[in-house]
Structure 1
């Protein structure tokens, strides 16, 4: 309000509406508050700005100027699409596409804020319960302890139960960063066991994670999808109380590229078919 141009614009608006919008203190120009009329105007102005933004997005979509925001988390991209982008490229139908490759923890936040049109995400939940987002589970894989090949497993069997996990001595872990759900799941399991998580090293790169595990820096906590013909021993967590790595394809019905858009549907089809097709390295 101390800017003359702003003050004049407000006064013109008040004259046009025939009411006072602000309560001004006579001797303190910085102490300004809205009148009841001002609050009504602000609410309507905010709604109008949202409508203008929505219209702009739809116009961009109509004119093929807005990019489709596609989510492919690094683990999914590395396992299923690293050498198989041709079918996806065909599904783009000439639209401009921005591929976002974040860990699933970050991706879930972006989905909740409705910043993505379509894609893949992983979660330990049995289903995604996000308003205006339609999803379908297309794969389920175990979480695993990962050790260098030849190193004795910290438990006697080929798999490990929740009770056996809790009975393990305190181990140094090699972990993905908090952008990935593995980190959150590991911390949650440790808390349920009544102990803290000892992180020896963390990274957001799959190749670096494998290298740290192979070097014996710590025990890896991964999904079986991360390992593909590597010199590592995997011990899956199985049985009651153990979470699973569930893969979902999703579309955001609130975005301008809506559910009946043929491009979105083609992308969804390719994602579903590619992930549902058994991979040579998938656990049997």
Structure 2
């Protein structure tokens, strides 16, 4: 007679009993978590005790600080340690929240990528949760005064869908405006504006003013449009190309390898009037070179 028929129910009951004990311990630990009352902007999730709670200033590598104003707008400023730039970070469902203490509002992002803020009593879990990741740090040990860690704030849910994947929005400060970037080329272009230095502090609102700048209109960093900007020569000749495309690249390529070009390339070379296009392109380059020399002045 097989003895396994009698031992199998005992093993099964032992596994079930162990599983029930583990589940009861997890539930009891989660129900006994206490939240610190001195930090008002914390929305803990999943009953975790190791909640990240900190007061901080978020400064980019381009020396802008993130501000959440009382009217709900979010901006960047060059003023140091303002009352509206004192922020508070907390954990929520394996993510992070950014809370403006003076404005009593959360930092949020719409599904379209627009940065805004919500009052504390209208917290939206879909819009106001980010993932903080350390992207860059100075060389040296943490005890070194020059040691810095920069973080990127990527939205947990919203982004641009490309096929089956979603490129999440990254928070950035550009031209004193809080924006989001998602594409890789934009993240590389605004790399200094998406890297935030998390500067922890123990300062209170009473010790901070609305602004520390003597003249914020002149001290604040802003986007200065280049009035003397001119398009590249190849862009100025786009009107000559079919479907709005420039023929300069094609014409230069065929001209360089004229004797090894195919018959089709030679026909297109003649059809697109490449001799005229290259002549105008060279004239444009000479004019740009002369203007550049005049701007520099005599050496």
Range of TM-score over shorter length: under 0.3
Greater helix proportion: 1
> Normalising by the residue count of structure 2, what TM-score does the alignment of the two structures yield?
0.25
> Normalising by the residue count of structure 1, what TM-score does the alignment of the two structures yield?
0.26
Higher relative contact order (CA 8 A, sep 6+): 1
Larger Rg: 2
